[in-house]
Amino acid sequence: MNSQTSVFLTNVRKSGQRISKDGRIQVSRKAWTVRVSAFVAASTMIAFNVYLGLTLNDVFVVYSTLLPIESLLYVVIGWLLYRNPARGTVGNDLVTVVVPIYNQKSVIEIVIDAIFRSTYKNIEIIAVNDGSSDGTKEILDNLVRRYPNLRVIHKEVNEGKRRAVAAGFYASKSNYIVLIDSDSIIDEHAIEQVMKTFNADTKVGAIVGNAKVWNSEKNILTRCQDAWYDYSFNIRKATESTFGNVLCCSGCLAAYRREAIVHYIPYWVKAKLRDSEDRELTSYVISSSLGKKLMESMAQYDDAEDRGLTAQALTDWKSVYVADAVIYTDVPEKLKVFLKQQKRWKKGTTRVNFFVSAFFWRKHPIMSLIFYMDFMMTFTTPLIIVAVFLYAPLVLQSYLIPASFIGGSLLASLAHGADYKFRDSTTRNWFYKPLMNLITSFMISWLIIPALLSYRKNEWGTR
Amino acid sequence: MKLVHLAAISTSIVVALGIVMVLPAFTRTPHYTPPLLVMLSFSVVDNTNVPDWCNDLSSIFKKYGIKATVFFTGKVVDEHPECVTVFSNNIDIGSQTYNYVDLTEIPDYTVQLEEVRNGKQAVDYAGKLYSRVFKAPYGSADENIYSLLSRSDIAADFSYDDKYNKYYNGQFIRFDLAVYEGNSSSADFFHKLTVSETPTVINFDNSTPVEQIDRFISELKSGNVRFVNASEVTSIDLTIREGE
C-alpha cells in the first residue's frame, strides 16, 4: 500500500456504527426511549389524521396519511426486525471484485489498494478501464506490477458502465461477484461480511453494503447527503432487507451470486439507455419467472444498471443489506453535479419500477405496500407540493396546511437524524437530515419531470 | 398481451390512483364562514356617570376600532354636549326623546311629537350633526310612532326587540333583528349563535360599568364577529356630521 492510501485511510472518518450479537444495529437505552416517544407521537398523529379524513370524507386527507404511514413502517420495521444477515462462516471461496473505471486517476490507486487490504484474501480483482483518457490507464498498468491478483481490462472505447461490468463478469472465475464503484473505498472487513452472508443463506442472490460518505465534512451539501445516506441504508434498506427484498443494491458496493444474474447479463449488457444499472440487476434477482421475462424486456434500456441487476436478483432470490460491510464513497460537492446525479437516478428508478410494478404485488404485503406507495409518490409528490405550498395558501388562504407539512416533515427528519446519532455517536451531521428532507421535497421530487423528458438520453456515471 | 403491457397497466394504475387521491386537494374551495353582524347599542338615559362614562366608552371604541351606535336623551346632551362630540365618525349618534319618557303613556300626540323632535334637535345641536336614528325609551311605542318619526325627519327606528324600521319610498319598512341585553349574556353566548343574515343588536345603558363593556367587547372580538353601526345595518347614512 502506498503512502497516499495510508494518509487517506487515516483521514477518513470511520463509521462508529456497531452490530450487537443478535444482529441488530446497536443503540443505547436512551435511544429506545426517544424511539418509543417518537413512535407514539407519530402514531397518534396518523390516527387523528385518518379519523379526520374519514369523518370529513376527504380522500386527500387519507392520502396525506399514507406518507407518514410509509415512513413509520420503514422506521419501525428497521428498528425492530432488521438483523444483520452476515451470520454464516467466512469460508474461503474465490471472490471476484469488479471495478468499472472511467477517468478516475485521482483516486483509483487508493480504491485498488483498499481492496487488497481486505481481511478476506482469496480474491481476484478485475479493473475494467472503460476507455479512460485522463491517465487512469497508466496508473492501472503500474498497479498490475504491484498486485499479481489484479487483472486489468482496457477498453479502447468508452461504452458505459454496463458493458464494463459485463466485461469484468465474463472475465471472472468465481461464483461471487462484488461490484465496487471506482470512487469508493472498501472497508477491510467488508468482503468478509459479504461472504458470511452468502454462506449463511443459500437463497441470498444479491447483497448491498453500507455506504458511508467519506467527503461528508466538505460542505453543507455533503453533510446533508451523509445524513441522507444513513437513513437510506440503515432504515430503508434495512427494512427492505428484512423481507429479503432490497430494491437497489447500490453500485458503490453490491455483491451477486453468479447464478442469480448469469442469465440476465446478456440482456442487461445490450441496453441502449444507461441509468440505475444496479437497481435493475437487483430487481431481476428478486423477480419471479414472469418478472424475469419482464426484466429481460427492460434490459434494452441502459439507464438503470444497478437497479436492474438488483431486480434480476429479486426474481428467485433474496437481496439483503449487510450493515457491517462498509464502503466509503464520495458524493457530489456541487449542487449542479448533485442534481444531475439525482436526475439520472430518478430516471433509472422510474424505469425499473415501471417493470417491477408488474410483479412486485406478489411479494410480502408490507413490502408491496411500501414499494407501490414509493412508486406512486414519485409521480404525486410534485402535485402535493403544489397543493400544499401554492394552492392552499393562495387559493384557500390556508397557511396551516403548509405550516403543518413543514412542521411534520422537520419533526420526522429530526427524529431520523437523532436516530443516526444514536446509531453512530461519532457523526457530526445528524442534524442536517431536516435540511436534506427539504431538498428532497422541493428539489429532488421535481426531477421526475426532466427525468421523464430526457427518457432516451444516455448518461453514464456513478454520480 | 406482451409482458411490457402488463408493466404499463400496473404503472398506469399506480399513477392514476395517486392522481385520484391528490386531485381533491385542488377541488377544494375556500372555506369561508361569514361573521356574525353585531350592532352594539348604547343608551345614555340619565346623568349617572356622565360625561366620564361617555369619554371612557369612546376610548374603548377607539381601542378596538369598532363601529357602534349611541342613543342620547335630549336633556342629558343639553347638560353635557361633549358627550356627543367625543365619539368619532364611525359611531352613529341617535336620539331617544328629550326626557326619556314612555311615549305610549303620553295621551297627546303633539306632546309625543315634541318629545321626539326635541330629543333629536338637542342631539343634533350638541353634536353639530344631523341624526336620523331613533330608539323609543323602554322599547315602548304604538302605531303613532311612524308618524312621529317621519314628521321628525328620522329614517330608522331601533325601538323593538325583534325588528327595526327603515324609511323607504315614503313609508317605514320592517326588517328582522335579533336583540339581546348585554348585561345578561356572555360573549361566549354570541360566539355560539348560528350566523344568519339577521343583524344582532346588543343593548347596554350607562348603568353598565365601562370596564365590563371593555371585557365584553374584547371577548366578543376574539370570535368571528363584525361590528356594525345603524347606518351599515340600514344602508342609510344616519349620522351626518358637520363638514361631511
pLDDT digits (tens, 9 = 90+) for A325-337: 999 998 999 999 9
Residue B48 is predicted with a pLDDT of: 80
Distance CA B144, CA B164 (A): 15
In a domain, B13, yes or no: no
Question: Which residues are CB-contacts of A386 (< 8 A; sequence separation ≥ 6)?
Answer: none
Is the pLDDT at B32 greater than 80, yes or no? no
Mean pLDDT over residues B102-110, rounded? 92
The model's pTM is: 0.71
Per DSSP, A12 falls in state S
| Number of domains chain B is built from | 1
pLDDT digits (tens, 9 = 90+) for A244-300: 999 888 889 999 999 988 888 887 777 665 566 777 777 777 766 656 666 666 665
Mean pLDDT over residues B45-60, rounded? 90
Range of the domain at B212: 36-241
CATH of residue B143's domain is 3.20.20.370
Residue A296 is predicted with a pLDDT of: 63
In a domain, B21, yes or no: no
Mean pLDDT over residues B131-154, rounded? 91
In a domain, B17, yes or no: no
Task: Pick A316 or B11 by higher pLDDT.
Answer: B11
- Which of A294, A380, A405 to mutate to probe the B interface, most B CBs <10 Å? A380
In a domain, B127, yes or no: yes
Nearest chain B CA: its distance from A154 CA (Å): 36
Residue boundaries of the structural domains of chain A: 1-463
Side chain identity, residue A311? A
Q: Given an 8 Å threshold on Cβ–Cβ distance, is A59 in contact with B24?
A: yes
CA distances from B160 to B95, B108, B113 (A): 15, 22, 19
Residue A413 is predicted with a pLDDT of: 87
Q: Quote the mean pLDDT of chain B.
A: 89
pLDDT digits (tens, 9 = 90+) for A401-458: 888 888 888 888 888 899 899 999 888 899 999 999 999 989 999 999 988 887 666 5
pLDDT digits (tens, 9 = 90+) for A110-160: 999 999 999 999 999 999 999 999 889 999 999 999 998 899 999 988 888
- Which of B21, B26, B29 to mutate to probe the A interface, most A CBs <10 Å? B21
How much of chain B exceeds pLDDT 90, in percent?
62
Is the pLDDT at A313 greater than 80, yes or no? no
Among A176, A178, A180, residue whose Cα is nearest residue A202: A176
CB of A58 within 8 Å of a chain B CB? The answer is yes
CB of B11 within 8 Å of a chain A CB? The answer is yes
Task: Pick A146 or A308 by higher pLDDT.
Answer: A146
In a domain, B15, yes or no: no
Chain B neighbors of A59, CB-CB under 8 A: 20-21, 24
Residue among A60, A388, A397 minimizing CB distance to B24: A60
In a domain, B114, yes or no: yes
A371: nearest CA partner in chain B: B14
In a domain, B198, yes or no: yes
Would you list the DSSP string of chain B? --HHHHHHHHHHHHHHHHHHHHTHHHH-----PPPEEEEEEEEE-SSTTTTHHHHHHHHHHHHHT--EEEEE-HHHHHH-THHHHTS-TTEEEEE--SS---GGG---HHHHHHHHHHHHHHHHHHHTEEE-EE--GGG---TTHHHHHHHTT--EE--SSSEEEEEETTEEEEEE-EEEEGGGS-HHHHHTSPP-SS-EEEEEETTS-HHHHHHHHHHHHTSSEEEE-HHHHHTS--EEETT-
Is the pLDDT at A9 greater than 70, yes or no? no
How much of chain A exceeds pLDDT 70, in percent?
86
Distance CA A301, CA A280 (A): 10
Residue among B8, B14, B21 minimizing CB distance to A59: B21
Side chain identity, residue A418? A
How much of chain A exceeds pLDDT 90, in percent?
45
pLDDT digits (tens, 9 = 90+) for A65-106: 777 788 888 889 999 999 999 999 999 999 999 999 999 998
pLDDT digits (tens, 9 = 90+) for A23-65: 889 888 888 998 899 889 888 888 887 787 777 666 677 777 7
- Which of A354, A385, A449 to mutate to probe the B interface, most B CBs <10 Å? A354
Residue among A66, A376, A396 minimizing CB distance to B28: A396
Residue A326 is predicted with a pLDDT of: 94
In a domain, B26, yes or no: no
Residue B130 is predicted with a pLDDT of: 95
Residue A6 is predicted with a pLDDT of: 65
Residue B3 is predicted with a pLDDT of: 64
CATH topology of domain A1-463: Spore Coat Polysaccharide Biosynthesis Protein SpsA; Chain A (3.90.550)
Cis peptide before A332 (omega within 30 of 0): no
